[in-house]
Amino acid sequence: MYKLDIDTPALLLDVDLLQKNLDRMAAWAAEAGVGVRPHFKVHRTPEISKLQLEAGAVGVTVAKVSEAEVAVEHGLGEVLIANEICGKQKIERLVQLCRRQPVMSYVDCHDALDDLEAAAEAHRVVLDLLPDVDVGMNRCGAPAEEAVELAVRIHESPHLSLRGIGGYEGHLGAQEPGEGKTAAITHDLHPLRVVVERLQEAGIPVPIVTAASSGTFRETAGQGWVTEVQPGTYALGDLLYNKGGCGSDYAMTVLATVMSRAGGRVITDAGMKALHPRFGGHIVKDYPQLALRGLAAEHGIWDAEDTCSLRVGDKVEILPDYADGTINLHLCWELTQAGSAVGRWDIVGHGASK
């Protein structure tokens, strides 16, 4: 079946471009001398993670305990939950998961560490933890001094294991590459470096220093002291991170059908339920005559130049601005190769947000 025969709206994945993106990242990482721990939260698809591991990834990064459960169930290697785990239910699930396989997670305050340590002691497991350092996101993450205190506590506890230090400079991911971006990343990562140096001076090993996104992995690895990076979207490509210098081929697109042509507009059947509206700069592949006016629940509204030849019933591929949010709206990938539909992968982790 030809890919344009797939019903719409549909999430397409070009398997050749996917592999090209994975091979490019693997070659870069080997040259840069850093590990790649791709973020599962972007695609939530075990088949993609397995290809990433085959390409040399050191493990996977996830955002939620439920994603970690999927990763462990599908044998996706060493798992890092790059997020804070708190509350009785989540800590209990983490402890039970660690009975099956060691899983690393972040912590950014003493209250959470108290609860994690108590649970580890009660269940007779050792929890692998990394203090999370605030490097300018102003989201989660501890100040440098507190992160050092957390690391020392973890190092000294018989119920905990200090695996390293983490941070996330995601606020710089979409900034266009250049000297200004490199300088900003160097500046904002300074607290993370301070923590690493303080611990090393105290004789405390820091085997993992992890950070970065698909928009910052080059500059972050270029600091020379980060041991691994956590890009996710690089495997698929989107407009947001390619603006930030990711350099991926667009392996993922959203296939849509033209529903209406009137008044200088093209209306497609891919709206907010098929394309994430947060950033909104989606582009129709091969049709520069179209400019997005807006998204309704079921409709994409595009302003069309007079030269646009699209007719009702025609199908188009849309390049999403934000892959992560767009994938979250779909249940499966329609796989394509050389213009043909060649299979389907379920997004097994869909809804794994707890």
pLDDT digits (tens, 9 = 90+) for 212-238: 999 999 999 999 999 999 999 999 999
Q: Is residue 214 assigned to a domain?
A: yes
Same domain, residue pair 261 and 197: no
pLDDT at 262: 85
* Boundary (domain end) residue, out of 205, 234, 263: 234
Domain-ending residue, one of 210, 234, 258: 234
CA distance 40 to 275: 19
Same domain, 175 and 226: yes
Structure tokens at 248: 């991926």
Angle at 347 between CA 297 and CA 345, to 5 degrees: 115
Q: Are 145 and 197 within one domain?
A: yes
Q: What is the pLDDT of residue 62?
A: 98
Whole domain around residue 336: which residue ranges? 3-10+248-346
- Half-sphere exposure of 140 toward its Cβ, with a 13 Å CA cutoff? 16
CATH assignment at residue 49: 3.20.20.10
Q: Is residue 354 part of a domain?
A: no
Is 123 found in the same domain as 201? Answer: yes
**3-state DSSP of 114-154:** HHHHHHHHHHCCCEEEEEEECCCCCCCCECHHHHHHHHHHH
Domain C-terminal end among 174, 206, 234: 234
Residue 279 binned pLDDT confidence (cut-offs 50, 70, 90): low
| pLDDT reported for residue 281 | 86
Verify that 162 and 285 share a domain, yes or no.
no
Q: Give 84-143 pLDDT, tens digit per residue.
A: 999 999 999 999 999 999 999 999 999 999 999 999 999 999 999 999 999 999 999 999
Region of residue 153 (left: phi > 0; alpha: psi -120 to 50; beta: else): alpha
Q: Considering the domain boundaries, does residue 240 fall inside one?
A: no
- Statement to judge: residues 212 and 273 lie in one domain: no
Distances (CA, A) of 162 to 110, 120, 152, 159, 242: 15, 14, 8, 10, 34
d(CA 175, CA 179): 11
106 found inside a domain:
yes
What's the whole-model pTM score?
Answer: 0.97
* 224 and 273, same domain (yes or no): no
Predicted pLDDT at 278: 76
What total number of domains does the chain contain?
2
93 with 162, same domain?
Answer: yes
Count of residues making up the chain = 354
Digit-coded pLDDT (tens) for 324-344:
999 999 999 999 999 999 999
Q: What is the C-alpha separation between 106 and 166, in angstroms, rounded? A: 8
The verdict on residue 216 lying in a domain is yes
Distance, in Å, from the CA atom of 282 to the CA atom of 350, rounded to the nearest integer, reads 22
> Could you tell me the pLDDT band of residue 263, with boundaries at 50, 70 and 90?
confident
Write the burial class of residue 284 (CB in 10 Å: 0-12 exposed, 13-18 middle, 19+ buried). Answer: buried
Are 298 and 219 found together in one domain?
no
Please state, rounded to an integer, the average pLDDT across all residues of the chain.
97
Is residue 280 predicted with pLDDT exceeding 70?
Answer: no
Mean pLDDT of 178-203: 98
Structural domain contains residue 33:
yes
Which CATH number fits the domain that encloses residue 330?
2.40.37.20
What proportion of the chain, given as a percentage, has pLDDT over 70?
99
Is residue 351 included in any domain, yes or no?
no
In a domain, 353, yes or no: no
| Diameter of the chain measured on Cα atoms | 71
On whether both 125 and 182 belong to a single domain, the answer is yes
Do residue 19 and residue 167 come from a single domain? yes
Interval 337-354 mean pLDDT: 97
* Residue range 159-187, pLDDT digits in tens: 999 999 999 999 999 999 999 999 999 99
Q: Are residues 228 and 274 in the same domain?
A: no
Task: Please give the Cα distance from 340 to 103 (Å, whole number).
Answer: 39
